[in-house]
């Protein structure tokens, strides 16, 4: 399967991350935890992140995988 990870970094520190396997945001700083709580309660934001997996990751993974197989 494919896992989509969307990290938000500020001043070289990861504040928050969306992980498609978990299906929600996780905060790593005080600011990130607050945003994670807000974003996880917003179905629209969660839906946008999940849509990235379907619309971008999966089609491009097939292309990349084919390109790798062609070179081996």
The Cα 32–Cα 52 span in angstroms is 21
pLDDT band at 65 (very low <50, low <70, confident <90, very high): low
- Rounded to the nearest angstrom, the gap between the alpha carbon of residue 44 and the centroid of all alpha carbons in its chain is 14
With 70 as the cut, is the pLDDT of residue 55 above it?
yes
Q: Structure tokens of 59?
A: 């089609």
CA distance 25 to 58: 20
CATH architecture of the domain with range 5-70: Roll (3.10)
Q: Residues 29-39: what's their mean pLDDT?
A: 96
**What pLDDT is stored for residue 34 in this prediction?**
97
The pTM score is 0.74
Mean pLDDT confidence for 39-59: 88
Please state, in angstroms and rounded to a whole number, the distance separating the CA atoms of residues 20 and 57: 11
């Amino acid at each position: 399967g494919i896992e989509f990870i969307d990290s938000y970094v500020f001043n070289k520190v990861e504040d928050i991350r969306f992980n498609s396997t978990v299906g929600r945001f996780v905060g790593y700083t005080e600011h990130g935890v607050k945003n994670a709580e807000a974003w996880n309660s917003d179905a629209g934001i969660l839906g946008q992140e999940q849509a990235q997996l379907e619309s971008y990751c999966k089609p491009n993974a097939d292309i990349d995988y084919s390109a790798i197989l062609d070179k081996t």
